Amino acid sequence: MHARLLWLPLAAVIALGCSSAEDIPRVDTEPTECRNSAGQVIDCDIRLEEAGGFSITLVGRSCDALNNEIRIDRPTVPDPLVTADGCNEPIGTQWDYGTTTPFAAGTAINVVIVADEYANPPGLRVTELPPAGGSLTSWRLDFEDGADQDFNDIVLELRQVPAD
């Protein structure tokens, strides 16, 4: 069990005996709630419907935190760190995986966000988006760092990219 800290300015953190913001505990956040487009609870495994790759796009953010790492836990990729600071990436930034060497159909994708731990537990909601115009299923990932409970601190869209 992790100790919970309140959202405090750096001066207060130092006054409590922490020498820097680096002393704030970090926590890995995996999907905690997953739903389909109709709002029904579904399995949190994101799986490719067919062979190919996937892209992750930052579609929104509303966070003041620093160092919210986004990384790929599954499948194995050459560089699992998507970004070291999702709160400061430009909206629209896209990262592509499996475009050179496609993943097999059924490959599981697990995105993890590593962030500082605050008063509330962090959360990652995954919503399956319906296919549009013959496209494959995509997913929206809404991250909450725990400083509030709005689930809009980092918003990502994960899209399948069919093999050529």
Domains located in the chain, CATH noted: 26-162 (2.60.120.400)
- The CA dihedral of 99, 129, 61, 46, to the nearest 10 degrees, is -50
Q: What is the bridge-based pairing of β-strands 154-162 and 81-83?
A: unpaired
Given a cut of 70, whether residue 138 has pLDDT beyond it is yes
Nearest Cα to 75, choosing from 104, 31, 110, 51? 110
DSSP letter at 15 equals: H
83-127 confidence digits (pLDDT tens):
998 888 999 999 999 988 999 999 999 888 888 877 777 888 888
